[in-house]
Amino acid sequence: MNRRDRWWIAGAIIGGISAAAMIWREMNRQPLPTAEEGRGTALITGASSGIGAAYARALAARGYDLILVARREARLRQLAQEVEARYGVHAEVLTADLTTAEGITRVAEAIRAEAKLVFLINNAGFGTKGFFFQTDVERQEAMVRIHVIAPLRLTHAALPAMVEARRGAVVNVASVAAFSPTAGHATYTGVKAFLVNFSEGLHEEVEEYGVRVQALCPGYTRTEFQKASGVPSKGIPDFLWLSPEAVVAQSLHDLEVGRVVSIPGWQYRLWVGLERLLPRSWTYAFGRFFHRARRGRG
């Protein structure tokens, strides 16, 4: 048997194992969690637009009551009125700035007070551009609070009741950037990597109690994120862009089939797969190239 034949056989075996795993997951698909009485409540941070708003609509369509968290009260109230009128659910508005200790505490208290909470979506976040040593360190600290401290505190507030009830789900919205450290985004890629590892560790702790944890890792998604973070979107090929609705649909599907790290889009699953195979030095080289290319277009 020559080398090429061995490669074909190895590829066929890997492909067969992957297909079998997908079939097994679909056969063991579990419905999304609900409260004991039937309807549950989902709390979503960063709910005023983008992926957060898409989660709100998708979960309301499935009958969940909502607690919508963000800083922009007018946006939240508009969304709450929309889902209440369209889906007949109850939607509560909670304004909070999760870059502050006061905002985090306020949301954590709301989580502990909600008896029917079965869903926590830690989606709030933002990014910055520029080399770390040239940027405002307070802005970098705020990024750590909203991406690391807030999910940590809110998840800690939610899990005891979920574990006791043996039902519930926590989704931490990370990014494919978690797998690709890139010049100009050192803190952002770092906090997203934390969310992935944090979620995987939590999954190992609470799976036996019937609680699901997921790290959602989208790529480029058509939201307000790029504009708010000052990151240019010019020059990014159309095939790399995802819609918030597609991202959320993949997330909810992956929750049902038990996939802990959810990567929407074939293009991003392929990229992350390659990232894990390539030498780290190649990743660094690509990151530098990507940063220079984006800077040139921005």
Catalytic annotation, residues: 188, 192
Q: What tokens does 282 get?
A: 């190649």
Q: Please tell me the distance from the alpha carbon of residue 152 to that of residue 145, in angstroms, as a whole number.
A: 9
Location of structure tokens 């705020």 = 142
For residue 161 the two structure tokens come to 């009741």
Both tokens of 104, joined, read 């985090």
**Strand residues in the chain grouped as ranges (E):** 41-45, 65-70, 91-95, 117-122, 168-173, 211-216, 261-262
Give Cα separations from 250 to 118, 163, 220, 260 (angstroms).
19, 25, 15, 12
Structure tokens, 240: 């790399």
Q: What is the helix (H) or strand (E) element at residue 56, kind and residue range?
A: helix 50-61
